[in-house]
């Protein structure tokens, strides 16, 4: 049986996605912006809580942030008490990126459902934070955990994930206001 050869750039297995609609692009951009806002709130809130909890346990306020750089510098990163570029900047940058990642999942969840009142938002945020805790301390390799266990007690780590939930809920409520009263850059995506 003879098969006609396919031209080089026209394989029968090539997938050509359709162009997304303006509404789909706008929804994606809004979800991304919402994640950046919520993730920043989470990062700031949890960094402050980590510092307070560390001081309460007799550690340096920056040790939990520095410990997050353990993926690059090893477990000794948690023993650095002062601010430095190597540990503090890398640790905070890693924590901030992680916060935006979890916020993106949370904001994608929120965008797929109708707006919710604050208590329901907090309940959903607690669920998201519980998933983050389970993934961070139960699934990922030790080298990719937040590293807080090298500095803080389990109770303080749990309190930090509660603070994460509060940050997600606060960020979600801020974003609900943007969605409710769209301004420049927030087009109606429905």
Residue 51 domain flag: yes
Name the pLDDT band for 188 (thresholds 50, 70, 90).
low
In this structure, are residues 143 and 71 in contact, taking their beta carbons and an 8 Å threshold?
Answer: yes
Q: Is residue 45 part of a domain?
A: yes
pLDDT value of position 27: 82
Between residues 173 and 25, the one the model is more confident about: 173
**Structural domains in the chain (count):** 1
Instruction: Tell me, yes or no, whether 13 lies in a domain.
Output: no
In a domain, 18, yes or no: no
Does residue 155 form part of some domain?
yes
| pLDDT higher at 128 or 182 | 128
Q: Look at the pTM and tell me if it is higher than 0.85.
A: no
Nearest CA-CA partner of 76 in 87, 62, 61, 89: 87
Q: Domain containing 34: what range?
A: 29-180
In a domain, 46, yes or no: yes
The answer to whether position 6 is within a domain reads no
3-state secondary structure of 98: helix
How far apart CA 159 and CA 150 sit, in angstroms, is 16
For residue 187, being part of any structural domain is answered with no
CA separation for the pair 93, 146 (Å, rounded):
12
């Amino acid at each position: 049986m003879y098969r006609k050869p396919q031209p080089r750039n026209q394989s029968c297995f090539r997938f050509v996605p359709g162009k997304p609609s303006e509404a789909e692009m706008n929804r994606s951009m809004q979800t991304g912006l919402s994640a950046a806002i919520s993730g920043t709130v989470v990062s700031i809130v949890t960094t402050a809580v980590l510092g307070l909890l560390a001081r309460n346990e007799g550690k340096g306020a920056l040790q939990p942030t520095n410990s997050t750089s353990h993926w690059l510098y090893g477990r000794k990163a948690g023993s650095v008490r002062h601010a430095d570029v190597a540990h503090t900047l890398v640790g905070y940058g890693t924590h901030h990126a992680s916060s935006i990642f979890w916020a993106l999942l949370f904001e994608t969840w929120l965008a797929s459902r109708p707006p919710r009142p604050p208590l329901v938002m907090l309940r959903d945020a607690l669920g998201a934070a519980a998933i983050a805790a389970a993934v961070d301390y139960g699934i990922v390799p030790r080298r990719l955990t937040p590293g807080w266990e090298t500095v803080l007690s389990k109770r303080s780590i749990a309190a930090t994930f509660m603070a994460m939930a509060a940050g997600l809920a606060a960020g979600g409520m801020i974003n609900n206001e943007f969605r409710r009263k769209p301004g420049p850059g927030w087009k109606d995506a429905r």
